[in-house]
Amino acid sequence: MPESVPPSPSDKPLLAVLKGERRDPPPIWMMRQAGRYLPEYRALRADKGGFLDLVYDSEAAAEVTLQPLRRYPQLDGAILFSDILIVPFAIGQELSFVAGEGPRLAPTMLDARMRDLEPHMERLQPIYETVRRVKAELSPQTTFLGFAGSPWTVATYMIAGQGSREQAEARRLAYSDPGKFDAILDMIAMVTVDYLSGQIEAGVDAVQLFDSWSGSLAPAQFERFVIARTAWIVAELKKRHPKIPVIGFPRGAGGKLGAYARETGVDAIGVDETADPNWANRELPQGMPVQGNLDPLALIGGGAPLSDAVQRVLDAFSGRPHIFNLGHGIQQDTPLAHVEELMRQVKGGE
Ligand code: CP3
């Protein structure tokens, strides 16, 4: 008589959906929910110096991970406070964040060869310490998400040394020096498996692979650099941690979304805001958990256009396991009141 069993106090709705259950209302979290739109984040960051100092101070990083959950108790997920560029830092590039300009990695992989870099795998350890600290404080209903960038997206930063227009440097290298390009992707993929395994062993419940720039690739390259590499990472992770769900987020995949969902082995798929949710629902395998896909700019706008957009997402995915999320990260200038509106609309209550 499963209906008469009271919900367990350790039930994690988000994790249940990742494992294929449907919940109503759907669980919710927001990509980049720990960050600069929160005044309490900005205050702590100012105190600690820079972004990287915050990431490497496990006590502070755990606090930042928990900040959005304190402000919005409706959140079902916590995402580890770290960055996808910790992997190149461990591979041996120097990492810095220039105020107002974003990340810098040196030397760039246009200038250096893989064997010029001296790996520093110990640079991953403090991140696991953050996971352990968060785990100790998290409510048993909250799903704890670890993450890494996917090889292609991380490679775009390693190769250009910074964010790049249309990822042109990396796309050029893929054609001009495929051997070197493959060696870079292979190295990232190997370290990523260790890094995600380390996060899992330290206590995360599920992991997400961010492929933020998968949209810039030609179809044959998408197959090799995105699908094949993601499939390899998922298979390796499943050997070590068969029960831990993997969320794939191939941002901008467009018409290649279905192929990614079917061919990578990911348990759940993140959909960005450029995909019509009704189209995505038809395109994706029946029963596959979907995460998304409110336009983060609708959240900035607020009002009736926001509630219409939220309702469209809820309706489109009402027949399958669904995790409500944004189509990409929450932006810095998002009014906190609009996030509250979103929480009320998705989860109910005053
Ligand atoms: O809530 C969370 O998601 C926190 C953890 C997190 C961060 N970055 C913290 C961060 C996650 C999951 C990321 C992922 C990330 N980092 C991606 C993939 C997701 C996406 O948004 O596409 C990418 C491409 C990066 C690389 C990166 N890190 C860039 C380009 C920048 C500068 C621009 C920006 O978005 O802020 C960062 C810095 C960064 N990473 C900040 C935070 C909170 C801002 C640092 C600050 O100034 O305080």
Q: How large is the ipTM? A: 0.94
- The answer to whether the CB of 48 is under 6 A from ligand 1 is no
- The answer to whether the CB of 34 is under 6 A from ligand 1 is yes
What's the CA-to-centroid distance between 108 and ligand 1, angstroms?
20
- The answer to whether the CB of 178 is under 6 A from ligand 1 is no
The Cα–Cα gap between 179 and 295 comes to: 38
- 157 catalytic? Reply is yes
Pocket-testing residue among 83, 156, 167, ligand 1, by greatest number of atoms within 8 A of Cβ: 83
What's the CA-to-centroid distance between 83 and ligand 1, angstroms?
6
- 37 catalytic? Reply is no
Residue 123, annotated as binding a ligand: no
Residue in 154, 172, 151, 176 with CA at minimum distance from that of residue 163: 154
Taking 90 as the threshold, does the pLDDT of residue 5 lie above it?
A: no
Atom of ligand 1 nearest to the CA of 54: 48
Structure pTM? 0.96
pLDDT at 302: 97
Which structure tokens are listed for 8? 């367990």
Atom of ligand 1 nearest to the CA of 149: 18
The upper half-sphere exposure of residue 164, i.e. CA atoms within 13 Å in the direction of its Cβ, equals 21
Taking 90 as the threshold, does the pLDDT of residue 136 lie above it?
A: yes
Tell me the DSSP string of 21-44: ---SSPPB--TT-SSTTSHHHHHH
Residue 36, annotated as binding a ligand: yes
Rounded mean pLDDT, 251-272: 98
pLDDT in tens, 192-224: 999 999 999 999 999 999 999 999 999 999 999
Taking 50 as the threshold, does the pLDDT of residue 1 lie above it?
A: no
Pocket-testing residue among 54, 75, 84, 153, ligand 1, by greatest number of atoms within 8 A of Cβ: 84
Rounded mean pLDDT, 272-279: 98
Taking 50 as the threshold, does the pLDDT of residue 152 lie above it?
A: yes
Taking 80 as the threshold, does the pLDDT of residue 22 lie above it?
A: yes
In the sheet that holds 322-326, the strands lie side by side as 77-79, 143-149, 206-211, 246-250, 268-270, 290-294, 322-326
- The answer to whether the CB of 163 is under 6 A from ligand 1 is yes
- 240 catalytic? Reply is no
Beta strands in the chain (DSSP E): 77-79, 94-98, 102-106, 143-149, 206-211, 246-250, 268-270, 290-294, 322-326
Q: What single-letter amino acid sits at 82?
A: S
Q: Which residues pair with 294 in a beta bridge?
A: 326
Rounded mean pLDDT, 314-338: 98
The Cα–Cα gap between 127 and 65 comes to: 12
Q: What top-level class would CATH report for the domain 2-347?
A: alpha beta
